[in-house]
Amino acid sequence: MEITTNLRHTNLRSSFLTTTTLTNHRKPYFRPFTRPISTTLTNCINKHLHTHHHPIRLNVTNAIAIDTQTTTTSIDTDDTDDIESLFSNTSPETVDFRRSNNKHSGASTISSGVRLENISKSYKGVTVLKDVSWEVKKGEKVGLVGVNGAGKTTQLRIISGAEEPDSGNVIKVKPNMRISFLSQEFEVSESRTVREEFLDAFKEEMEVAKRLEKVQKAIEGSVEDLELMGRLLDEFDLLQRRAQAVNLDVVDVKISKLMPELGFSVEDSDRLVASFSGGWQMRMSLGKILLQDPDLLLLDEPTNHLDLDTIEWLEGYLNKQDVPMVIISHDRAFLDQLCTKIVETDMGVSRTFIGNYSDYIIGKASWIEAQFTAWEKQQKEIEHTRGLISRLSAGANSGRASTAEKVFLFLF
């Protein structure tokens, strides 16, 4: 047990990248975008209502932080292609407006999270994963460890659905489970502003907002064509219901709430992403993922290229999150601060250790000692059996010796 005792005093963070000073934590501000329906449009709708008795909600307020022109532009109704492109392919009667994050009502073999069962994976004849089985449950933060090439990232890709295993099963608590992947390269566009970057997390919502804007302008330009205006009003009503189904009204609220948690200020909203360091761009990428309300968060080397201050901020921030996580990191102290379970992959086989990285070090040492003790016991049994066979062979019991030798070869 001497190995285990010595490992308790291991310094997990012996060195780091040179630190840089971060800016002070700042408070954010996000102004909502409100586009009122024009008087011209209201008159057109009233005329249409008297003619066709078409029910529609007239007051539209979108909580979306988008810079728009307040002046209305008439659309050329002769441009049939442009007008037709505004209409949905699905009729209002057949649209399913249920929220995408409804819970799966079917039976599941796990109560929460994701489980990998007997996963194997090979590339060009080389076996990377042979027998991998482990799970991440609600409230857990699992650290994946192993040498380079052990298949850690492959396991994340299999969980996210980016790759299929050769054999085995990936069991999820629900089929529409939302899994977000923060890779080593942060997915941000340096040509966007910070506000636009966060809005990119709401692609579906933003598409609905843009189409609402275009349809509203088209209605204002269709004063002389009541039939076209009727179709546009139908589309407008359909998009309104879609906006409600995807929580379009809470987009700006969620961004406004998240920005101060990430340390961004009011002035940062309109700054270009390119003007921020890699550490701050990591915050943006992480923020975009959290805005999507994931059921599981996968992080592949999130501390790469970050200074010590940013790493410590990330540790504290992730510790406050309730979403279950699977983390790959070579920063042992980072894993020590976050993880509740460590899964080691060695020679294609996984082993699970409960606790943080320090507990894993001690548990692995105990496991190695137990394996060595079992090996020593086996060697003694082998020597004892060999001695017995030798004694039997030398006497009159050579037949029994031959039988014992066969048993020996079968066992060892």
User: DSSP for 47-110?
Assistant: HHHHHH-----------------SS-----TT-HHHHHTTS-SS-GGG---S-TTPPP-S--SS
The radius of gyration of the chain from alpha carbons, rounded to an integer in Å, stands at 31
The CB-side HSE value for 112 (13 A sphere, CA atoms) comes to 10
Interhelix angle for 278-291 vs 251-262, to 10°? 140
Can you state the percent helix, strand and coil of the chain, rounding each to 5?
45, 15, 40
Q: Which burial class, exposed, middle or buried, applies to 388 when counting CB atoms under 10 A from its CB (0-12, 13-18, 19+)? A: middle
Give pLDDT, residue 332.
92
Element (H, E) at 336: helix 332-338
Give pLDDT, residue 275.
95
Which amino acid, 105? S
Which amino acid, 30? F
Contact between 215 and 30 (Cβ < 8 Å): no
The CATH class of the 114-188+272-355 domain is alpha beta
pLDDT tens, residue by residue, 138-166? 889 999 999 999 999 999 999 999 999 99
Give pLDDT, residue 410.
55
Give pLDDT, residue 120.
96
pLDDT tens, residue by residue, 359-403? 999 989 888 888 788 887 888 888 777 777 676 666 555 555 556
Instruction: Tell me the C-alpha distance between 78 and 374, whole Å.
Output: 85
Give pLDDT, residue 70.
35
Cβ atoms within 10 Å of 253's Cβ, excluding its own: 13
Candidates 140, 120, 122; CA nearest to 343 is: 140
Element (H, E) at 375: helix 357-394
Give pLDDT, residue 241.
77
Domain boundaries, the chain: 114-188+272-355, 360-411
List Cβ<8 Å contacts ≥24 apart for 271-275. Answer: 271/193, 271/194, 272/190, 272/191, 272/192, 272/193, 272/194, 273/188, 273/189, 273/190, 273/191, 273/192, 273/193, 273/194, 273/197, 274/190, 274/191
| Cβ neighbours for 289, distance < 8 A, ≥ 6 positions apart | 180, 182, 201, 297
Which amino acid, 315? E
The total number of residues written for the chain in this structure: 412
Instruction: Tell me the C-alpha distance between 359 and 363, whole Å.
Output: 6
| Cβ neighbours for 373, distance < 8 A, ≥ 6 positions apart | none
| Cβ neighbours for 379, distance < 8 A, ≥ 6 positions apart | none
Instruction: Tell me the C-alpha distance between 212 and 218, whole Å.
Output: 10
Give pLDDT, residue 57.
44
Cβ atoms within 10 Å of 223's Cβ, excluding its own: 16
Query: In which residue ranges of the chain is pLDDT below 50?
Result: 3, 7, 14-37, 48-75, 77-78, 91-108
**What is the model's pTM?**
0.61
Cβ atoms within 10 Å of 8's Cβ, excluding its own: 10
Contact between 166 and 95 (Cβ < 8 Å): no
